[in-house]
Amino acid sequence: MKRPVVYSLVLTASLLFAGGGRIVSGQVPDKRILRVIVLDSKDSAVSGARVTFRTANGEARECAETGLGEFECSVTGKGSLDIKTEAPGFRSFTRLVDLTNESDVRIELVPMPLKEQVVVSASGAPTAIGETAASIVSLGQEEFKASAAPSVDDVLRQTAGFSLYRRTDSRTANPTTQGTSLRGLNPSGASRAAVLVDSVPLNDPFGGWVPWSSVPPIAIDRVEVLRGGASSLYGSDSVGGIVSIIQKRATRKSVFSAETFGGTQGTASASAFGGSANRSIVIDGFGSIFHTDGYIPVEAGSRGLADERAGSRNLVLSARFAPRLPGKLNFFIRGSYFDESRKNGTRLQRNETLSRQMVVGADPEIGDPFTGTSNSALSIRFFALVQEYDQTFTAVSADRDTESLTRLQRVPSQSIGYSIRFSTAAGRHFFLTGIEGRETRGSSDETGFFGGNPTSNTGAGGRERTFAAYAQDRLRLGESFIVTGRVRIDRWRNFRALRSDLQIASGERSTTIFPDRAETALSPGISANFSLTDRVSAYLNASGSFRAPTLNELYRGFRVGNIVTTANEDLRSEKAINFEGGVSFWFEGISIRTGGYQTVVRDAVANVTVDPDSSPILRQRMNAAKIRVRGFEIEGQVRLNRLDIAFGYLLSEALITQFPGDAALVGNRLAQSPSQQVTFRAMYKPAGLITLGLQTRAASNQFDDDLNQFRLGGYFQADIFVSKRFGRAEAFGSIENLLDTRYKVGLTPVPTVGRPLTVRAGIRWN
């Protein structure tokens, strides 16, 4: 045997012995931990960041988050590799790291220019703001965390043109007044804006109002607000626009955040979000509990013994399961539970809401089914909701010292629905098409009282069913011009509706069966976006919209103060035409957008006064012949070194332009619609661990009724916020209504006022 062969055998045997029977490589891999810190330009840790790198064989791996903006990457070898960092609202950044000389890496992310921020609500697909032909605002986690107010609707009130039907917040207002108004287009409590949570409607299926408390801020990734008619994509309820809420999702093996706070008016809250994502399943969810004793809403000079604080408490639970199934189905199921009870400002007025919802969806990876197409996507959603709403109504004496029960009301409702959406790109075209369907059944079951004794039982209700199909083509002509055409057809049907009355004393019963009704609405739209220069763009938009009356407007009456409003089973759907246009400017760290709009609504449903001299005052829901809302808006954002500023101004003229049934109403302003709104917010970070926030808003006078007799004066409110971070924990405090301005929010005709100065403090963990 030759010596080289012997030497080889001896070496091989030695290696096998040393490795316990395994062949051991002569080179031991150099494994090490690379630490990455992700900061913004203000030296603050960036939340929601994701850090990845590619191995020598091209495999992508994710770094583990060990703290807010802090990551550890388990790397092998010495050489160099690319580290990629991404975060919402920032440009992605890739850096070449020399493993031989670097063990700690500091990465500074640059905020994404406003024109490049991606939104979905304007076109139904991810689109840069600079290429959307709409008035749209996107609010992210930074805006929510630096807000003095703890509720979603109050954060959105920093957007010019957004308000609830009455200018109060969802913490103390009656749920039926929490319909969303955009640009003053809201002559009744039902929402004229569709509110979506991950593409599923949040609007109450029976009444159209919005249960804002069911979406705690800790669960939100961002919110997009689109002002202007959007029925050509989103159907009924979107006459005035949409609010799209995108919830957080678990994207790593372990994600957890929590918040707790307490404050004046007996306020306390605790909430948490958590989840885990691995190769077999993604699980995430959130929970929140909130309580406040609130404040006495009746103006001090008008209070009596019957008045007390208006407060609320609620519990929200939600969980989502997304198993990794074969075939890249991307299936998920989400269950939610919401339980809320409220005191409405007197000793006997109460309401409660209990709802359970299930959402099942899939976003399968379908490839490109047609020749010449790319980036094809399919989205499927099924949802179901069961809900009970209970309300007590009372009559309060003129001196407000005594109160008597007038009505007990229970409103059970059930709703099921689905949506299927498909999109694809082909050359310069981006096509979007889909179908939607929904059926809701509900009733208002009431017991009337007089002198403390039950006198009557009344039940009224029915079913409604809608089906819609829509299509859109977004065509890019060159590099600077985009034109979009879209059309939607909706079929609304109201059926199995009746009213039954029982007089308890006599036992006499009467039943009225309402005829089935159906309407078809066509909602077309066309828009164009022009990139005039790299810093200037303009848009034009024209669209048709519609809104079907809710079961609440058709069959449920209510009482507020000394005003009784009755239902109207003969209501027709509202139809609107919207025109708008605007110009946007972008500079270094500065963006300004300005534009004008006009929306004309035929058959708008409003609460019309029938007898102003009766006691109580009698109103009824009616189709006003025509209303017109037109105006001008400007908003901007400035990003300096450590200071972010955003401002907005809305000028709105909302008038009744035709009403053959009562010519005296023509020329009157819409109820609860101010002619001017101003918003301002600033966020300052003097050091990397400290955040200071200021939010202000103001509105001119408005009226609380269709006759324009009950005038509500203008108001101004300022809020402040401060926080300091300690590692992964953050302590914060805030003051709402810093100047303690007590402005009127309602005249029924008893004057009610808004929230007084409110203080809260708490701790966050991320």
Same domain membership, residue 246 and residue 193: no
| pLDDT score, position 559 | 81
Same domain membership, residue 488 and residue 350: yes
pTM of the model: 0.88
668 within a domain of the structure (yes/no) = yes
Same domain membership, residue 513 and residue 406: yes
Same domain membership, residue 440 and residue 326: yes
Q: Which of 216, 241, 266 is the last residue of a domain?
A: 241
What's the CATH number where 208 sits?
2.170.130.10
| pLDDT score, position 164 | 86
Side chain identity, residue 600:
V
Q: What is the 3-state secondary structure (H, E, C) of 609-628?
A: EEECCCCCEEEEEEEEEEEE
Q: Token pair of 262, please? A: 């307490």
Instruction: Using CB atoms within 10 Å of the CB of residue 663, give its burial: 0 to 12 exposed, 13 to 18 middle, 19+ buried.
Output: exposed
113 within a domain of the structure (yes/no) = no
Q: Could you tell me where the beta strands, DSSP code E, fall in 42-134?
A: 50-54, 60-62, 64-67, 70-76, 80-86, 93-98, 104-108, 118-119, 127-128
Side chain identity, residue 381:
R
For tokens 């929970």, name the residue: 287
Distance CA 223, CA 225 (A): 7
SS3 assignment, position 378: strand
Sign of the alpha-carbon torsion through 325, 330, 331, 336: positive
Tell how many helices (H) and how many strands (E) occur in the chain. Answer: 5, 46
Is residue 16 pLDDT above 70, yes or no? no
Mean pLDDT score, 118-138? 82
Q: Which of 92, 108, 124 is the last residue of a domain?
A: 108
Same domain membership, residue 217 and residue 263: no
Cα 400 → chain centroid: 38
8 within a domain of the structure (yes/no) = yes
Instruction: Using CB atoms within 10 Å of the CB of residue 326, give its burial: 0 to 12 exposed, 13 to 18 middle, 19+ buried.
Output: exposed
% residues pLDDT > 90 (the chain) = 58
% residues pLDDT > 70 (the chain) = 95
Please, what's the b/e burial string for 419-456 (b: 16 or more CB within 10 A of its CB; e: otherwise)? bebbbbbbeeebbbbbebebebbbbbbbbbbeeeeeeb
Mean pLDDT score, 492-505? 94
Distance CA 525, CA 118 (A): 22
Distance CA 361, CA 159 (A): 31
Distance CA 508, CA 514 (A): 20
54 within a domain of the structure (yes/no) = yes
Listed residue (136, 186, 230) closest to 578, CA to CA: 230
Is residue 668 pLDDT above 70, yes or no? yes
Taking the CA atoms of residue 664, residue 667, residue 670 and residue 671 in that order, the dihedral angle to the nearest 10 degrees is -50
Is residue 14 pLDDT above 60, yes or no? no
pLDDT bin (cut points 50, 70, 90) of residue 167 is confident
Q: Which of 108, 143, 164 is the last residue of a domain?
A: 108
364-394 confidence digits (pLDDT tens): 988 888 888 888 999 999 999 999 999 999 9
540-584 confidence digits (pLDDT tens): 999 999 899 999 899 988 888 778 888 899 999 999 999 999 999
Distance CA 170, CA 177 (A): 9
679 within a domain of the structure (yes/no) = yes
What's the CATH number where 88 sits?
2.60.40.1120
Distance CA 374, CA 381 (A): 23
747 within a domain of the structure (yes/no) = yes
Domain carrying residue 193: 134-241
End-to-end, the C-alpha distance of the chain in Å comes to 69
SS3 assignment, position 3: helix
DSSP run (H or E) holding 535:
none
Distances (CA, A) of 38 to 86, 87, 98: 10, 9, 18
Distance CA 416, CA 485 (A): 30
Helices (H), 146-230: 152-156
Beta bridge partners of 84: 52, 94
Which residues are within 8 A (CB) of 113 and not within 5 positions of it... i.e. 6 or more apart? 586, 591
pLDDT bin (cut points 50, 70, 90) of residue 705 is confident
Beta bridge partners of 282: 277, 322
Same domain membership, residue 198 and residue 50: no
Beta bridge partners of 723: 691, 732
| pLDDT score, position 24 | 43
Same domain membership, residue 408 and residue 347: yes
Same domain membership, residue 168 and residue 49: no
Distance CA 620, CA 609 (A): 7
Strand order in the sheet with 64-67: 64-67, 70-76, 31-39, 104-108
Poorest-confidence range of 282-291, 322-331, 530-539, 705-714? 322-331
324 within a domain of the structure (yes/no) = yes
What's the CATH number where 725 sits?
2.40.170.20
Which residues are within 8 A (CB) of 507 and not within 5 positions of it... i.e. 6 or more apart? none
Is residue 56 pLDDT above 70, yes or no? no
Distances (CA, A) of 18 to 9, 14, 21, 29, 31: 14, 6, 8, 17, 21
Same domain membership, residue 51 and residue 191: no
Q: 63, 97 in Cβ contact below 8 A?
A: no
Phi/psi region, residue 535 (left: phi>0; alpha: psi -120 to 50; beta: rest), is: alpha
Q: What is the CA radius of gyration of the chain?
A: 29
| pLDDT score, position 20 | 41
Omega before 211 within 30 of 0, i.e. cis: no
Exposure on the CB side of residue 132, measured as CA atoms within 13 A = 27
Same domain membership, residue 167 and residue 181: yes
Same domain membership, residue 511 and residue 428: yes
Distance CA 397, CA 105 (A): 71
17 within a domain of the structure (yes/no) = yes
Is residue 305 pLDDT above 50, yes or no? yes
Q: 151, 171 in Cβ contact below 8 A?
A: yes
Same domain membership, residue 275 and residue 291: yes
Domain count for the chain: 3
